Structure 1
Amino acid sequence: MTTFVLLHGGGMGGWTWKYVRDLLEAQGHRVYTPTFTGFGERAHLTGRHVGNTVHVQDIVNVLHYEDLHDVVLVAHSYAGTVAPGVIAQAGDRIATVIYLDAIVPHSGERIASLMGYVPEDQLAGLDAMLEAGEGPIGSGVDVMQREAAKTHPHLMDADRQQWLLDNLTDQPMRATSCVIPVGAETIDKPVDYIAAAITVMNAMHDRARALGWTIHDHPGDHALLVGDPEGTVDLIMKIAASKGAA
């Protein structure tokens, strides 16, 4: 039996791992799918203060209070900015690190600027505004994802895509604008990176290669955990087995 902690992407929540979780649990594994503060069923806790450090603490607390050890940590999309901070604080509890088409930040970067959405100087000003208790609470990422799906549908059946889109919630603006204090370059463990073929994360794939991470290609899109849970689980299990974690 292997213990998995699965971290979700932007606008999502622990719920997005439903199909992957069911498959892993059917194989007898323990699976935790925590939701970051301000997302999903915890959307009512959002606020201008909710950023990277809050989300790192969310997961460190899960590891501590659930007394988890020898964990396979899987980070999808936005969670790639959270995983390095978790590893820095609780790396002794984590056996294997897998990035699932996730953001690969460097220390001191901000999501919106490293992804090319907002210039750094504007983002720094926005973050200062939020620090002062002013400015927008949410980033509108859920609306953006629904609009994008109209012209570029996900690689999944229509009903499953509708389930995904219906459950999206906004992402705290602070999580998008704040400095990420602990970047991926600090991770002192081998990392395996699952790279989707159809994604906005191509530059992140290059960053993963530059860090010497092992790359595993997947023919799906950025929502592969929902569109192809079987293929996602297959890759995760192969990686875990190669590390002696499964």
Structure 2
Amino acid sequence: MKVIYRGKTKDVVEVDDVIQLFFKDDMTGKDGVFDPGENQVGLTVEGSGRSGLAVSKFFFERLKEKGIPTHFITCDLDAKMMEVKPVTVFGKGIEVICRYRAVGSFMKRYGAYVTEGQPLDGYVEITLKDDERQDPFINKEALALLDILSEKDYETVVELTKKICLVIKEELANKGLDLYDIKLEFGKDRETGEILLIDELSAGNMRVFRGSKPVAPMELEGFLSL
């Protein structure tokens, strides 16, 4: 087994040319409070790794039904393992945030112009994966200038993001839940060069509300009846 990457919430390993993600019980946040926008481990909750994988499996399978390309192949819930396609990331990794409501870092930056929970109509932002620099935001021109993401690939990523997030938003709405924002990652299939959704689709990467109350990450599995 070759360890490719040890992350905050997952480890990536290669076993006999097969790439596997192992989900941990660690969650991002601060001072023991969950926050998908944080870039540090804030708490450890037993069972959260398996729950996150179950939710990811649910959404990846829905996206497959819609013909949306992802890296997902299969998973083993008991082992907290997801088998995925080998990919090449953009630069050192990018994160794509789709926002339906003004919360979190969006409120911190633009609070003088918006109110908490204000509709944002699926606004898309991109950040660089860089803990040292607090995951800085970057625009289309800078991504191309720094040879991280071409303008053509940028448009593809944004288009895929909107399609993916609409599927997830509608699935949650069917359960009486409201998606406020979600963080996605993308890469290119090493064999075909196709842009794929990668990483996970768990509650740890999104803010979900039921009415005016936030849904805790491990509660989402129950709402989806997984």
* Higher RCO, Cα 8 Å, sep 6+: 1
Q: TM-score, normalised by structure 2?
A: 0.29
Q: TM-score, normalised by structure 1?
A: 0.27
Q: Which has the higher strand share?
A: 2
Q: Which has the higher helix share?
A: 1
